[in-house]
Amino acid sequence: MAQAQQYIAQGYGWCVDLDLEKFFDRVNHDKLMGRIAKRIEDKRLLKLIRAFLNAGVMENGLVSPSVEGTPQGGPLSPLLSNLVLDELDRELERRGHRFVRYADDCNIYVRSERAGRRVMESITRFIMQRLKLKVNEAKSAVARPQERKFLGFSFCFGPELKRVIAPKALDRFKRRIREVTRRAKGVSMEATLEELARYMVGWRNYFGFCETPEVLSSLTSWVRRRLRCALWRQWRTARRRRAALIALGVGPVLAHNTAASYRGPWSTSQNKALHIGLSNAYFRSHGLPSLAEKG
């Protein structure tokens, strides 16, 4: 992403976004093993890799044989994808293109839309004829970088060029948080916070590379609000809600008035009483991380 950002800043303001159709499903085993054999002489290791490729996929207890492709999610697949696509890298370098690639995601940066369409056509032809792979035309495009996503990121243009989290990645994050907090009704809050903390720390370690900390702060606030809703539902009755708020340090009058409210959980989650009792410090003390802060 940082390299792509440099290319765009240098004036390469158009992106050739290539999507290889079912890449991990279509890799030719014989062609792949031929490439590996050029680098590795140990026949035992070659036999082991071939067995990995031919192991098949188990679905519903039945194993389907593999005649092409590498197992998606398998630990060897990213490495093997680099062996297959090394020839593509060398070709792009030979032509002097500015490009970034991660596994089967590849973006080439050019100065104009016309140049982008020319590159798209010639590189697609190279991929299909030389690598025997197929480019997904529906998902590939020549466009401005801010209109595309790469590895869950995109770019925004203003006074300065910034890395931002792609909308789909934000939607996936919110969907996962909703799933966890909805389940909180039937499990302990400690278990919910533990699951959220694990997910949020991993997510932050990846998407913390963005250059929009205000988005990370806003998401953290939204997660806390979801948790206040979940706790409000857990307490269920006005009596339990009043007692819980008082136990959390809320004054009796404010606790009583809040507990007696007929507003729904989402609206109540912004109430002063819940922000006092279930403060940011409260969630920090129970292990909930901030997406905007590392450590």
The mean pLDDT of 66-75, rounded to a whole number, is 70
Pairing of strands 162-165, 153-156: antiparallel
Check residue 98 and give its pLDDT: 97
223 vs 54, which has greater pLDDT?
223
Q: For residues 10 and 255, what is the distance between their CA atoms, to the nearest angstrom?
A: 58
The mean pLDDT of 196-224, rounded to a whole number, is 96
Going by pLDDT thresholds of 50, 70 and 90, the confidence category of residue 63 is low
Residue type, 207: F
Instruction: Strands of the chain (E only): list them.
Output: 14-19, 57-59, 62-64, 98-102, 105-110, 141-143, 153-156, 162-165
Q: Where are the alpha helices (DSSP H) in 55-188?
A: 77-94, 113-129, 167-183
- Whether residue 295 has pLDDT greater than 60: no
**DSSP code at position 290:** P
**Angle between helix 43-54 and helix 29-39 axes, rounded to 10 deg:** 160
- Whether residue 211 has pLDDT greater than 70: yes
Query: H or E stretch including 276?
Result: helix 272-277
**What does the mean pLDDT of the chain come to?**
91
**DSSP code at position 141:** E
237: three-class secondary structure by DSSP: coil
pLDDT tens sequence across 4-43: 999 999 999 999 999 988 777 777 788 888 888 988 899 9
Pairing of strands 57-59, 62-64: antiparallel
The mean pLDDT of 73-90, rounded to a whole number, is 84
65: three-class secondary structure by DSSP: coil
List phi, psi (to 5°) of 213: -60, -25
Of the listed ranges 136-140, 175-179, 244-248, the one predicted with least confidence: 136-140
- Whether residue 46 has pLDDT greater than 90: yes
